[in-house]
Structure 1
Amino acid sequence: MDIVERIEQLFVRHGDAPYEGARREAISALEHALQCAQLAEWANADESLVAAAFLHDVGHFLAAEAIARDDRVDDRHEDLALPFLSAGFDASVTEPVRLHVQAKRFLVRVDEHYARQLSPASQHSLALQGGPMDDDQLAAFEALPFARDAVQLRRWDDLAKEPGRRTPSLDWYLALLRDVRERPFLDSKTGIGATSVA
């Protein structure tokens, strides 16, 4: 099955489910993904980062299919998503997804106001994910090629929780994923490109 078809299947199967227990948010997983991608578009992010914004929580769906959800345990959804998304997308999509949890830990450390604006669900998951970064973790994160994209994605993630907001449809972002998958990859640091063979 094509990866975009598989992503569609995951959103159809799990997208209407609310986050449960201490992870509960006011909107569904699909609404959250659509809002996050829309915020990225409004910020004129490139298509890869819009795709990452849309896909950043897809690992929760993979976790739900693999194990029973437990609010007391971090499901490490960012790590679960990496091998799945790497089958169809390059690092400009997968790395911001992989790093968006670390970006939350980074922001809590560097921005004294950030933690206060987190939803109760995000505060709960922050504790499970290790809390604020220490000095070594901070330096290592800042050195990563896609750290800046991950921080921007994290800020959209935090804002994408507004009940009733109108957004483009699931089909709109699935079409964007197909476009991103089919275009040549251009490394943002080196400027060297290659046609994706995924």
Structure 2
Amino acid sequence: METVSFTRMENGTTEDYALLDRLERKHVAELPDRIMDHLRALEHSLEGYKVSRLEHSLQAATRAEEDGADKELVAAALIHDLGDDLSPYNHAQLAASIIRPYVREEVTWAVEMHGLFQMQFYGDKIGEPTDMHESHKDNPYYETCMRFCRDWDQAAFDPDYPSKPLEHFEPLLREIFTRPAFDPAILKERAAA
């Protein structure tokens, strides 16, 4: 295995950083594979629901696709709960961080806020407020997050729902997660009305 010569970054050479750049580009190119692996791992994640976390994600993405959502929102519906295992109390923010470099800010915002918006459906059952999402009514992406949560996420726990398999979404994931990171033309793009 090739390694750098330094033990402190400040002592690295041009050759060291060229090596790291080459290895990082390879690593970045493999991101869709890692996302697929992490989605598969949701099959054996948080228990207690009628469906696995993977099936929940597949249902949300299938619902989004069948509802006519664009590809960025479908991808977001698929990966929105990837943070469940590593960051259960702020899983939405972790998932938003994963997708942020590759999609418009509207999509990132919906993923980041979905945990808060979901409380409208069950907060009263656990002693939490159900109206906290209303403080964001003036946000231009409010309705996108409402649709995301109401129509796709909170409804995606049905063991009889005919969701599409993960392989169906793989080309979409590969397309989204191989885009140039933080492309200004993508980040500020608005969804077609």
TM-score, with structure 1 as normaliser: 0.67
Of 92, 108, 115, the match for 1:101: 115
Is the counterpart of residue 44 in structure 1 residue 68 in structure 2?
Answer: yes
Q: In structure 2, the residue corresponding to 1:15 is in which secondary structure?
A: helix
Larger relative CO (CA 8 A, sep 6+): 1 or 2? Answer: 1
1:83 maps to a residue whose letter is S
Query: Distance in 2 between the 1:145 and 1:6 partners?
Result: 32
Give the superposition deviation at 1:151: 0.9
1:10 aligns with 2:38: yes
**SS of structure 1 residue aligned to 2:154:** helix
Q: Is this contact kept in 2: 1:49–1:92, CA < 8 A?
A: no
Count residues in correspondence: 157
The residue aligned with 1:148 is: 143
Aligned to 1:187: 189
Deviation (angstroms), 1:166: 2.5
Separation in 2 of the partners of 1:37 and 1:97? 13
- Relative to the length of structure 2, the TM-score reads 0.69
1:18 CA drift (Å): 4.9
Separation in structure 2 between the aligned mates of residue 146 and residue 82 of structure 1, nearest angstrom: 14
Instruction: Determine the structure 1 residue equivalent to 2:14.
Output: none
1:161 is aligned with what amino acid?
F
Aligned counterpart in structure 1 of residue 46 of structure 2, from 16, 19, 25: 19
Contact 2:83 2:95 in 1 (8 A): yes
Instruction: Give the C-alpha shift of residue 187 in structure 1.
Output: 1.9
The reply on whether 1:60 has 2:88 as its aligned counterpart is no
- Between the aligned partners of 2:65 and 2:124, the Cα distance in structure 1 is 26
Please report how far the alpha carbon of residue 123 of structure 1 lies from its aligned counterpart in structure 2 after TM superposition: 6.4
Partner of 2:153: 157
Among 129, 132, 143, the residue aligned to 2:130: 132
Pick closer, same or farther for the CA change 1:138–1:174 going to 2, 3 Å: same
Alpha-carbon contact 2:124-2:130 (below 8 Å) kept:
no
Q: Does 1:81 align with 2:95?
A: yes
Structure 1 spans left out of the alignment, 5+ residues: 64-73, 109-114, 192-198
| Distance across 1 between alignment mates of 2:148 and 2:166 | 19
**Secondary structure of 1:60's partner?**
coil
Contact 1:48 1:92 in 2 (8 A): no
Question: Secondary structure at 1:8's aligned position in 2?
Answer: helix
Q: Give the distance between the partners of 1:154 and 1:123, measured in 2 at CA.
A: 17
Specify every segment of 5 or more residues in structure 2 that has no aligned partner in the other structure, as ranges.
Answer: 1-26
Larger Rg, first or second structure (1 or 2): 2
1: CA distance, partners of 2:149 / 2:169 = 19
Q: 1:57-98 deviations in whole A, cap 9, x for unaligned? A: 1111333xxxxxxxxxx6111112232222444424322111
